[in-house]
Amino acid sequence: MQVDCHWTEVFKETVSETMLNQEVTSPALMSAGPSTPRSVPLAIRSKRGSKGEFRPSSMPSIPNPFPELCSPSHSSVRAGSLVGDHIPSDEDMHVVRVYDEDTHSRSVLVSSGTTARDVCRILVQAAHCVDLKSWALIEQHPSLGLERCLEDHEVLLQVQSSWPKDGDTKLLFRKNYAKYEFFRKPAQYFPENMISDSTDVKTGMNSSQLVQSMLKCGSCPEIQGYLHVREAGKKSWKKLYYILRRSGLYCSTKGSSKEPRHLQCICDLEDLSVYTVCNSRKLYGSPKMHTFCIKPRGQRFCSQDLKLLCAENEECKTCWVTSFRLFKYGKQLHCNFLLAQTSPALEIPPRKDGKVRTHGEQSLVAMDFSGKSGGRVILNPREAQSAEQEEAYSWRKREALRYSLPNSGQGSRPSAVHQTQAWFHGGVSRTEAQRLLEEQGQVDGIFLMSQHAQCFVLSLCHKLKTKHYLIIPCEESGRLYYTMDDGVTLFIDLLQLVEFHQINKGILPVCLKYPCVRIAL
């Protein structure tokens, strides 16, 4: 078929955010006559999803480009059937606000299935934190003094659905070194006197080995002991004997008897949440500070409806709270612990000198922290070697500067290098330092340093107790030093003191291991 007139192409470009549409028209085809209907191509508009992916708009989802051949009423293809159902819509996305310890906050866009681990990963990347293993989300009710650490597998929107609408409940993002510490040191978290005598003990296995074996299987031994309890709606406290089993929490109505006729079931562990209570003496008049609370998920948050339990010491309280978690989640906690330990391995480029890297060197990777956006991994071998040489030169220059600066007599000024460290918290009080260490988990080796009038104080946790060590400046041979042992060991500055005790215990009961850090979101 021949066409006498020449073809004329008219291109109309419509540039949107995500797509470039082109339309081609011909005057010869358009002049064929009004009796013959022609299909007109419809532009498919698109929009960007909330997470950056492209997805078609909802009106229309897939337009029909040939209306004269297949009308919507007789179409064999359902409109929108070609659109993937797995793509979340805007209605499935929610904004969650997370706070830090300095009342700053950050909004996070989450879906209906986002877990606490996913939110922690997002915040770690946004705040340029060093590691991911020990960060956690804390559910806090300030007016009631309640807080608990969310488990990594808990869905965030399901947790928030139980909050009161007019309450002051919020989410905190902070360190929690004790989240899975009981897997590493079970003997410290499960004292022998709290393990029930009715627990089946295998032949040739002591209590510590039994606990270790049960933890690997996601189980927990039966726990027993006395607790001070305040019933709901009452202000008085009384001391009763409690037994915690997989089937629930039981109270003995006759002393410490564990006979079935003397045991009364208090609650089931399936829909139960355990909270630690802050400032319980002032808020609830508890006999001790080691108070925790058990609350059914459907129960409202009211001070009169809370069932408060108070242990004799911090060791007993930690054992009870840990046992509640294990009995409720079981194997899931051990899976969370294993998942938290795994991290993607980074390949280190081989050396140019041909030397084989040792096992310790294989775990190291070259990093660049000079930028404002946080650290980055150096993948270029030449850049990594250059950064290594520059860092070694900077270290030698800093050490030479330490010894060359005049530091004698009245004109001397102490080094301020400690003020840039994450473990230095300025002039916080003794009580505030202890509170910070308790909030981030009283594991062995967590520490911070504070400054006072004429000295510094090192606060360190060991065996669930906080100890404070005085750091006194002293002068020797015209130089200013710092010491913790009456001048037996001298340090040029506080950074050298911390670096030394991270490798050697010295007079401390344990090496400095975990810095108590605070970040700004």
* Three state DSSP letters for 27-70: HHHHCCCCCCCCCCCCCCCEEECCCCCEEECCCCCCCCCCCCCC
In this prediction, residue 344 carries a pLDDT of 47
Residue 391: what are its φ and ψ, rounded to 5°? Answer: -65, -40
User: What is the per-residue pLDDT for 512?
Assistant: 95
Domain with CATH 3.30.505.10 in the chain: 417-515
Residue 179: other Cβ atoms inside 10 A: 23
Closest CA to 459 of 388, 514, 413, 399: 514
Pairwise CA distance, residues 73 & 140, whole Å:
55
The fourth-level CATH superfamily of domain 417-515 is SH2 domain (3.30.505.10)
Domain 92-175 falls under CATH 3.10.20.90: yes
| Predicted model pTM | 0.69
**CATH 2.30.29.30 residue window(s) in the chain:** 181-196+218-341
DSSP string spanning 309-342?
EE-SSHHHHHHHHHHHHHHHHTHHHHHHHHHHH-
Per-residue pLDDT of the chain (521 residues; tens, 9 = 90+): 444 545 444 444 443 444 434 443 443 434 444 454 555 555 545 444 444 444 444 444 566 665 555 544 444 433 333 333 445 555 678 899 999 888 889 999 999 899 999 999 999 888 877 666 789 999 999 999 999 999 999 999 999 988 888 888 999 999 999 999 998 888 888 988 898 876 554 445 666 777 878 887 778 889 999 999 987 777 889 999 999 998 899 999 998 888 889 999 988 888 888 999 998 999 999 999 999 999 887 777 787 778 899 999 999 999 999 999 999 998 899 899 888 887 544 344 444 455 544 444 445 667 666 655 556 777 777 777 777 767 665 655 555 555 555 444 443 555 678 888 889 998 999 999 999 999 998 899 999 999 988 889 999 999 889 999 999 998 888 888 999 988 888 998 899 999 999 999 989 999 999 999 888 77
**From CA 310, how far away is CA 286, in angstroms rounded?**
7
Topology of the domain comprising 181-196+218-341: PH-domain like (2.30.29)
Length of the chain: 521
Amino acid letter, residue 423: W
pLDDT at 221: 87
Q: CB atoms < 10 A from the CB of 346, how many?
A: 13
- What residue type is 493 in one-letter code? D
Query: Do the Cβ atoms of 133 and 342 come closer than 8 Å?
Result: no
Q: For residue 499, give both structure tokens.
A: 């670096």
Contact residues for 86 (Cβ-Cβ < 8 A; gap 6+)? none
CB 294 within 8 A of CB 274: yes
- Helices 331-341, 314-329: inter-axial angle, 10-degree rounding: 100
**Pairing relationship of beta strands 238-245 and 248-252 according to DSSP bridges:** antiparallel
Burial (CB count <10 Å: 0-12, 13-18, 19+), residue 200: exposed
If 0-12 CB within 10 Å is exposed, 13-18 middle and 19+ buried, where does residue 309 land?
A: buried
| Residue limits of CATH 3.10.20.90 in the chain | 92-175
DSSP three-state, residue 286: coil
The SS3 call for residue 22 is strand
Measured CA to CA, the distance from residue 243 to residue 259 in angstroms comes to: 11
* Distance between CA atoms of residues 335 and 214, nearest Å: 14
CB burial of 450-482 (b: ≥16 within 10 Å; e: otherwise) equals bbeeeebbbbbbbebebeebebeeeeeeebbbb
